[in-house]
A and B are shown apart, each in its own frame.
Chain A
Amino acid sequence: MAQRVADSERGARRIRAPRFAMALPAWIWFVFFFTLPVLWIVYYSFGYKPDIFHPIATDKLSFDTYHEAFSSTFLHVFSQTLQISILGTALCFLIGFPFAYWLATRVAPRWRGVLLGLVVVPFFVNFLVRTIGWFILLSPNGPVSSLLQRSGIRSEPLHLLETRGAVQLGVVYNYLALMILPLFVTLDRLDPAMREASKDLGASRWKTFRQVTLPLSAPGIVAGLLLVFIPLTGDYITALVLGGAKGNMAGVMVASQFTIAQNWALGAAQAVILIAMIMGTVAVFAVIALAIRTIARANRKITLPPIVEETA
């Protein structure tokens, strides 16, 4: 408004740049280094592998590679990935929410910044190195195993490494911060007066939590769930380092088509399926969440009786 005033005062001879002009460089960068390459991969998923040493041919486009990608062994990996990621996200939430709640409501405001920073410090160590830390911890002759054996709790070395459990633990650890941060921000923003009002109106602590705190922190919860679920499902490193043969995840499977088999068509098809699976799961849970919200709203509806004028 002010700008238009200033411009018209100068005589609007200046040609106004389009509104998105400042975002144009970023836009071009994104399209050139993200959109186009990914679309290229999708294009490859319709190709096939012609012979041993040529990874892709696109003269004949078809869905054949998708048929192969939907084979039972590969689907098994996708389903295992989904299990690990849904359980992992749930665990991140169960661990992260009480923590964020504590930090946002029980810690003096002047310490919150520091303590939040402290949460983030481990995540400034390289992702891979953090995972190696767990590799050492879970190793059969690592500190935990030695401790357990020496104290007599276990008679043989720890066999946690190279299992699905190790991957489950690793992914929860690696993505926990992404759950805590948005949860904290939302809970921190909550006006404590809301909770006090609820208590003043006679609600028990649990009811306050359930009907005031939780719904108000919904945006943060959703953000946290998404921020964890999506990268977790596509995780590659944790599965590779901690998983061995048993902890196979879709990301590793897709990668091996490109690093070992040289079958770009199959790898591309699997990558597309992975992305579709992530989006599909998010969509399903969004629908469920909306359904729950509608039902909850309906239950909470209060119908007021018609106002009756009292005769004086």
Chain B
Amino acid sequence: MSEPDEGLRILASPESAQRISRRAFMSGSVVVAVAGGSILLSACSSSSSAAGAASSGAASPTLEDQLAFLHWAAYDDPKLFKKFTQEFGPATSIDTYASNEEAITKLVAAAGSSGYDIVVPTGPYIPQMVANNLLQELDLSKIPNFKNLETVFTNQPWDPGNKHSVCKDWGTVGWIVDKSQISRPINTWNDFIDVAMNEASGNFSLLDAQNEVMGVYFWANGIDWTTTDQADLDAYEAWTLQMAPHVKKFESYPGYQFASGNYALSHVWNGDARQGFNSFKDPSRYSWGMGAPKTELWMDNWTIVQGAPHPEAAYAFINFILDPANSLQDLAFHGYNTGITGVKEAAQAAGYPFLDMIFFSDAQLATMQAQEINAAFDREVQIFLKMKAAAGG
């Protein structure tokens, strides 16, 4: 019904939609002026010693002694956290979640008392989080490394001007299959569903995130997954109840689990799949497939929680992670494109494995579509919970 180009329109006004077309976003041909020029240039040239410049906070504000993350799991190199603590001081702590819904619920329930400083939501969820006072406005002058981001990854429709978020990374979704257990090739979501209900029945996992499960159904059936049509949702619900008995587990991080032989087929994000591949003793036994004919484009963002007890430390960290050297190290760990200028070339030069699972061609990008939080959201969440209930027994 709608072209991939309209996917990003989401909550942006029609005028801005004209401005941002899919190809423009992806090809990077549109250059948007980024605020704060001079400091950025000097910092850019000495990227490798960026760390040294920020040592001991000589001219920077005093940092608090802690930094609390509400974060996805296995999403940043633990060594980078240690490096941050060594260079800047704050000790880091991480509590994890498996889906945006879980993160938001935690913040809403705590009503500002959660004690977290940084949360990493996916783009489409941000406007509502802002409207409900969950996120702080960002002072970009405290994040000089912001200029390292490729401009197409800034100024998104869900957060114009990067008032509340800064790109962490972006990625897509697909599947891993154990070829020694499933001999059939899986090329599309329909193949995925078919194998899941047959050869892999009782032995496959779906992501523990309602929007991802929703995507599987809608993409397989050629429906725009931003639909709010009740008939579409009814059909989705009926499908979930059919699919439920075959699911072994709802698992958002199956990458490592795959090596343990827990599943024959897993619904997985590309970076997590790559982490799995890095740990497989025999990678040729497995195969990663990007969703087809359509799949997701999601972008996760660094945001600062409203009422964060350690905001200066939060700014220091975000700036730290946007440094190209640190960003490259992070990318090598989590396997998602961090959007920093030149990171793809740097990764290729460093010879990191499985780069095809991080960087995608224009043709692949054209099949990716972002999510939209709309009126159907509540119903979709309940359908998901009902599916979990129906999966038992």
Residues of A within 8 A of B (CB): 49, 51-55, 71, 73-74, 76-77, 80, 139-141, 157, 159, 161-162, 164, 243-249, 253, 256-263
Contacts and interface: CB of A to CB of B under 8 A. Distances in A.
A13 B385 CA distance: 66
B351 interface: no
Given A157-B261, A262-B105, A52 B203 contact: no
A76 B389 contact: yes
A244 B250 CA distance: 7
B105 A258 contact: yes
B244 interface: yes
Contacts of A53: 104, 108, 128, 131-132
B105 A80 contact: no
Interface in B206-227: 210
B287 interface: no
Given A248-B393, A256-B385, A263-B381, 19 more contacts: A51-B378, A53-B131, A71-B386, A73-B241, A140-B260, A140-B262, A157-B261, A159-B202, A161-B262, A162-B248, A162-B262, A243-B392, A245-B248, A246-B392, A247-B392, A260-B384, A261-B105, A261-B382, A262-B105
A102 B363 CA distance: 72
Given A260-B99, A262-B108, A52 B389 contact: no
Contacts of B104: 53, 262
A150 to B, nearest CB: 14
A260 B388 CA distance: 12
A36 B382 CA distance: 29
Contacts of B203: 159
A43 to B, nearest CB: 17
A260 B381 contact: yes
A259 B392 contact: no
Contacts of A80: 392-393
A73 B242 CA distance: 13
Contacts of B390: 73, 76
Nearest 7 A-B pairs (CB), nearest first?
A248-B392, A244-B249, A245-B391, A140-B261, A245-B247, A53-B132, A73-B389
Contacts of A263: 381-382
Contacts of B378: 49, 51-52
A80 B391 CA distance: 11
Contacts, number: 102
B231 interface: no
A261 B249 contact: no
Nearest to A50: B378
A261 B392 contact: no
A71 B389 CA distance: 11
A94 B343 CA distance: 63
Nearest to A260: B101
B109 interface: yes
A39 to B, nearest CB: 19
A77 B203 CA distance: 21
A253 B389 contact: yes
Main DSSP-derived SS at the A contact region = loop
Interface in B235-268: 241, 244, 247-250, 260-262
B79 to A, nearest CB: 26
Interface in B90-113: 99, 101-102, 104-106, 108-109
A51 B104 CA distance: 14
Nearest to A78: B389
B377 interface: yes
Most interface-central of B99, B102, B109, B262 (chain A CB within 10 A): B262
Contacts of B247: 245
Contact of A260 (B102, B248, B393): B102
A261 B377 CA distance: 10
Contacts of B101: 260-262
Nearest to A263: B382
Contacts of A157: 261
21 contacts: A52-B378, A53-B128, A55-B109, A73-B241, A73-B389, A74-B386, A74-B389, A76-B390, A140-B260, A141-B261, A164-B392, A245-B244, A245-B250, A246-B391, A248-B388, A248-B392, A257-B385, A260-B101, A261-B385, A262-B109, A263-B381
Nearest to B393: A80
Interface in B354-393: 373, 377-378, 381-382, 384-386, 388-393
Nearest to A158: B261
A305 to B, nearest CB: 58
A49 B108 CA distance: 13
B128 A76 contact: no
Nearest to A53: B132
B389 A77 contact: yes
A140 B393 CA distance: 20
A52 B261 contact: no
A54 B378 CA distance: 11
A89 B324 CA distance: 58
Contacts of B250: 244-245
A53 B389 CA distance: 23
Interface in B127-169: 128, 131-132
A139 B248 CA distance: 13
A110 B203 CA distance: 51
B102 to A, nearest CB: 5
A70 B385 CA distance: 14
Contacts of B249: 162, 244-245
Contact of A261 (B248, B260, B381): B381
A162 B266 CA distance: 14
A141 to B, nearest CB: 5
A202 B392 CA distance: 52
A168 B92 CA distance: 38
A242 to B, nearest CB: 11
Most interface-central of B373, B384, B392 (chain A CB within 10 A): B392
A76 B248 contact: no
A272 B102 CA distance: 23
A258 B392 contact: no
